[in-house]
Amino acid sequence: MLTTIAPFATLVLLLVWMGFFMLGSLPLMILKHDTPMDARFIRGLFDVYYKAVMVAAAAGTLAHALAHRPATTAVMAAVGAIAFWSRRGILSRMDRLRTTMTAHDAAGIRRFRRLHVLGMVLNVAQLVVICASLPVVL
């Protein structure tokens, strides 16, 4: 029974968290990203998102492996790895921009905004792939 419930629960948890981030980060695009508070808030949101996805994906990888589901184990491991590398890459670039960005630095604001969009696009792409593959892997 546990080998049925745990994989399902971790998958649902991962999908809910990714959906929440997608819906929660989209309205933040109205922010101008030109103040340190805007940039700090967005960076913090991304940090929490990546950590939550890594934990949910790690738990899901373990649960699916114990349930002998190699396809979903690989998908969960890939989602966790993408979150790990995205966190390292996107957040470090956000941090570098935040330290030098001012309200009048149009190029810096534009680069920060692109990082915000990149993080959202990666999340949506993963969410679509996971949802599209559910009928196949389950």
Sequence ranges of the domains in the chain: 2-137
pLDDT value of position 99: 80
Contact 109, 4 (CB under 8 A): no
Alpha carbon distances (Å) from 92 to 42, 47, 72, 98, 114 = 13, 11, 30, 10, 14
Q: Which amino acid is at 21?
A: F
| Percent of the chain at pLDDT exceeding 70 | 93
Task: Render pLDDT for 11-63 as a digit per residue (tens, 0 to 9).
Answer: 899 999 999 888 888 787 777 666 777 788 888 999 999 999 999 999 999 99
pLDDT of residue 101 exceeding 90? no
Q: What is the pTM of this model?
A: 0.85
Token digits of residue 112: 């920060």
